[in-house]
Amino acid sequence: MKQSNIFKLILILVVTITTFIAVGCGASKEASGGDDLGDLGSFQVEKSGAVLWGETCARCHNAPDPTAFSDTQWDAIGSHMRVRAGLTAEETAKIVTFLQQSN
C-alpha cells in the first residue's frame, strides 16, 4: 500500500475517532473550566468572553494568562489574533474585554 494511501487512511481514522470523542464528550458532564459546551447547538447563542477565551485561543496554543499584558497591550494583541485566526469583531471584542477585566 502506498504511503499516501496509508496517510489517507490514518487521516480518516483520526477524523472519525475525534468526531466520536467530540460528540461523546459533548453528551457528558465535564469539569468546568469555563467549558460548558460540547453540544451542537446554535453558534448564535451568546457566549461570554471567558468561554470564547477558553475555546478560541486553545485552537492553536495555551489560553493566555490575562495578567500577562496590560489593557492597551491586549487591545493590540486582540487585533493581531483577529487577523491571524479569522475571528469576528464580536468574538475579538468579548475576548479582549474579558482579558482586560481580568488582568
Partner 1 sequence: MKKSLPLLIFILFLSAGPLLAQTYNEEAKEDLEALKPGTTNFLMRGYSHAGFEVIDGNSSFVSGTFAPIFLWKQGDRLLFESEMEIEFEGDGVQFALEYANISYILNDYLVFRFGNFLTPFGAFNERLHPAWINKLPTAPLGMGHDPVGPTLEFGAELRGGAPLGDTKINYSLYVSNGPILDVHNEDPLEPPTTSITGLNFEDNNDNKAVGGRIGFLPFNNSALEIGLSTQYTSGIGDRNTEFEDVASLSYAADLSFVKNSISAIRGNIDVKAQWNRMDVDEFHIELPDGDEQAINQENSAYYVQLAYRPALSKSNFLSKIELVGRYSGIDLTEPAEHADEEDIVHEAAPPGKAKLSAASLSSVSGGEEEEVHAEGDRTQWAFGINYWITWRSALKFSYQVTDNEETVPGFFIHYALGF
Binding site for partner 1 (CB under 8 A): 3-4, 7, 10-11, 14-15, 18-19, 21-22, 25-26, 28-33, 35, 37-45, 54-56, 58-65, 68, 72-73, 75-77, 79-80, 82-91
Residues 6+ apart with CB under 8 A from 95: 49, 52, 53, 56, 57, 78, 81, 87
CB of 83 to partner 1, least distance (A): 5
What is the rounded distance in angstroms from the CA atom of residue 62 to the CA atom of residue 56? 10
CB of 85 to partner 1, least distance (A): 7
Smaller CB distance to partner 1: residue 19 or 101?
19
Return the residue matching grid coordinates 448564535.
44
